[in-house]
Amino acid sequence: MVDNSKSVLIIGAGIAGIQAALDLGDMGIKVHLIEKNPVIGGKMAQLDKTFPTLDCSICILAPKLSECYRHPNINLYTLSEVQKIDGSSGDFTVEVLKRARYVKEDACTNCGDCASICPVRGVPNYFDANLKNMAAAYIPFPSAVPPVHIIDKNSCVYLNYGICGLCATNCGAEAIDFTQKDEILEFENVGCIIVAPGYGLMEDVSPLTSYGYGKFKNVVTALEFERLICASGPLEGHLKRLSDGKDPKKIAFLQCIGSRSDRDKKYCSSICCMYTTKAAMISYEHNNDLESYVFYIDMRAGGKGFQNFLRRGAEEYNIKYIKSKISHIDVDEEGSPIITYEDYDTAEIKQMTVDLAVLATCIIPSQGIEKLAEVLGIELNKYKFIKTNPFLPVETSVEGIFTCGCAREPMDIPRSVAEASGAAARAAEVIKGG
């Protein structure tokens, strides 16, 4: 039944792209999975736990990463980006730029000797929200897939000045290869394409100055906070203030940062109410004396079990919800954030001093989406997310090109997974139905 000459090309290997790839692979359809980062897993791999079950995120994701890597019908290409497409639904030709890794994927044993010997230090690790430094030879996190190190082109001394090469001489597997070049791969007989590049974050494009982000050490973003409380993160899960290493006793979580606003993004970022409650719960589990304050406009908790989750937060985890609007953040002489806000319940302007402030920053379209849309010829909406019709939710403006996940709108993991399976079904209709 399945036409094996036709494949599906998926752009982006976050949870959405991975689910679509696994579903199609399991249907017996060949998949090319294209990821621009050196490893797969996207944002979900960076999260500590997930709401509302409080499952450890990497623990439930890791089996899927492995499955993707070992699946006989899935070909994985990391450090790769789509550059050009030709053809139409049922028969696309796709050109992909695969950047050099400088490490042979089939030889590396992921032992980490290259990273230990590399004299270059202080390369910020994007995976740890740049809160931890690494060497120029690295792997973003220990259980990453593919389990292959990479050499950072910008900071490697050998690649820039032709000296050093210590990693190459010390690699027992002889996996380091400085002669690797970026290459162009061409995929023919691609029946359809699924675009799942995920999302970016407000802090990537905005300085968030009114919240003192970047200026005050004890004001962090939600993703930074995920890494700070994560057992495999830079603090090994022992939550501390970045300014003085003290344990925070009182944390403020500020909602709608850069979203639902005339100044920034007008739309709602969808997932923040829930992940904030989760973050406050985990923090409480680390320290039972902790007080958490959530400053919100509307608590948006419509998903399964979400209202119960909020109730548990308030009743069992010492979380207090304050309907309010934030004005700005200052700090006192100890570096503790002072939040100035309007309390909606009393219509008063108030201040609260906390040990740590966490900004629930808005989800924005992924970096490079405009270029990708141009390459693929698909339309974006006015917010620069991929344009879809409410009643054809996984279809882009081009026939045979589908989309899923946060590339088209901010959404949580279950919805991304569902959309991915939906996009896989639509792709299978094209491949099998002709």
Partner 1 sequence: MNMSEKEEEVRIGVFVCSCGSNIGGLIDVKEVAEYAKSLPNVVFTEDNLYTCSETGLAQIKKGVTEHNLNRVVVASCTPRTHEPLFRDCIKDVGLNEYLFQFVNIRDQCTWVHMKHPKEAFEKAKEVIRMGVAKAAKLEALENIVVDATPTAIVIGGGVAGMTAALSLANQGFETHLVEKANELGGKLNIINKLFPTSQDASELLASLKRRVENNPNLTVYTSAKVKEIEGFVGNYEIKVEQGGNSTDLSIGVIVVAVGASLLTPTGKFGYDGNIRITQYELENKLKNNEINAKNIVMIQCVGARNDERKYCSNVCCMTALKNSLLIKEKNPDANITILFRDLYTPGTYYEEYYRRAREAGVIFLSYKLEKEPVVEENNIKVFNEYIGEEMSIPYDLLVLSTPLIANDDNKELAQMLKVPLEENNFFLEAHVKLRPMDFATDGVFICGAAKWPVDITESITQGYAAAGRASTIISHDTIEVEGATSFLPEYNKDLCTGCEVCITVCPYKAISKNEDDEIEIIQVLCKGCGVCGATCTNHAIVIRHFTDEQILSEIYAFGGI
Residues 126-165 that bind partner 1 (CB under 8 A): 142-147
Decide if residue 28 touches partner 1 (CB under 8 A): yes
Asked if 178 interacts with partner 1 (CB under 8 A), we say: no
Placement of tokens 């019709």 in the chain: 389
H or E segment at 178? none
Plot region of 223 (φ>0 → left; ψ -120 to 50 → alpha; else → beta):
alpha
* Maximum Cα–Cα distance across the chain: 71
| CA–CA gap between residue 293 and residue 358 (Å, rounded) | 10
Of 10, 27, 82, 407, the one binding partner 1 by CB under 8 A: 27
Among 188, 244, 379, 429, binds partner 1 (CB under 8 A): 429
421: contact with partner 1 by CB under 8 A: yes
Q: Which stretch binds partner 1 (CB under 8 A): 4-12, 173-181, 190-198, 380-388?
A: 380-388
Angle at 28 between CA 196 and CA 395, to 5 degrees: 30
Q: Which two tokens stand for residue 291?
A: 């007080």
Least distance between partner 1 and beta carbon 343 (Å): 9
Residue 240 binding partner 1, by CB under 8 A: no
Long-range contacts of 144-147 (CB under 8 A, 24+ apart): 144/38, 144/39, 144/41, 144/45, 144/65, 145/39, 145/40, 145/41, 145/65, 145/66, 145/68, 145/69, 146/39, 146/40, 146/69, 146/76, 146/78, 146/105, 147/108, 147/110
**What does the alpha-carbon distance between residue 278 and residue 282 come to, in Å, rounded to a whole number?**
6
Residues 6+ apart with CB under 8 A from 168: 158, 176, 178
Is the Cβ–Cβ distance between 257 and 202 less than 8 Å? yes
State in angstroms the smallest separation of the CB of 421 from partner 1.
Answer: 4
Closest among 10, 68, 59 to 39, alpha carbons compared: 68
Interface region with partner 1, contact rule CB under 8 A, candidates 80-88, 92-100, 206-214, 382-390: 382-390
Give yes or no for residue 115 binding partner 1 (CB under 8 A): no
Rounded to the nearest whole angstrom, what is the least distance from the CB of residue 185 to partner 1 in the complex? Answer: 22
Min separation Cβ 283 and partner 1, Å: 14
User: Binding to partner 1 by residue 110, rule CB under 8 A?
Assistant: yes
d(CA 385, CA 370): 9
Which CB, 223 or 394, lies closer to partner 1?
394
Query: Which of 95, 243, 267, 314 touches partner 1 by CB under 8 A?
Result: 267
In the complex, the smallest distance separating the C-beta of residue 159 from partner 1, rounded to whole angstroms, is 25
Identified binder of partner 1 from the candidate list 83, 115, 189, 383, rule CB under 8 A:
383
Site for partner 1 in 349-368 (CB under 8 A): none
> Closest distance between partner 1 and the C-beta of residue 233, in Å?
9
175 or 331: CB nearest partner 1? 175
**Does residue number 379 form part of the binding site for partner 1 (CB under 8 A)?**
no
What are residue 10's DSSP bridge partners?
A: 33, 194
Could you say whether residue 237 binds partner 1 (CB under 8 A)? Answer: yes
Distance CA 102, CA 383 (A): 37
Phi, psi of 352 (to 5 degrees): -140, 135
Q: Is residue 424 a contact point for partner 1 (CB under 8 A)?
A: yes
Q: What part of residues 44-73 is at the interface with partner 1 (CB under 8 A)?
A: 50, 52-53, 55-56, 59-64, 66-67, 69-70
| Contact stretch for partner 1 (CB under 8 A) within 118-126, 201-209, 214-222, 406-414 | 406-414
How far apart are CB 244 and partner 1 at their closest, in Å?
Answer: 23
The reply to whether 207 sits near partner 1 by the rule CB under 8 A is: no
Q: Which residues in the 333-352 window bind partner 1 by CB under 8 A? A: 344-347
Which of 352, 367, 393, 397 lies at the binding interface for partner 1 (CB under 8 A)? 393
Helix (H, G, I), strand (E, B) or coil at 294: strand
Q: By C-beta, is 155 or 283 nearer to partner 1? A: 283
**Residue in the block written with tokens 């979900």:** 44
User: Using CB under 8 A, which residues numbered 283 to 312 contact partner 1?
Assistant: 298-308, 311
List the one residue out of 207, 246, 239 whose CA is nearest residue 334. Answer: 246
Cα 336 off chain centre by: 29
Q: Residue 233: beta bridge partners?
A: none
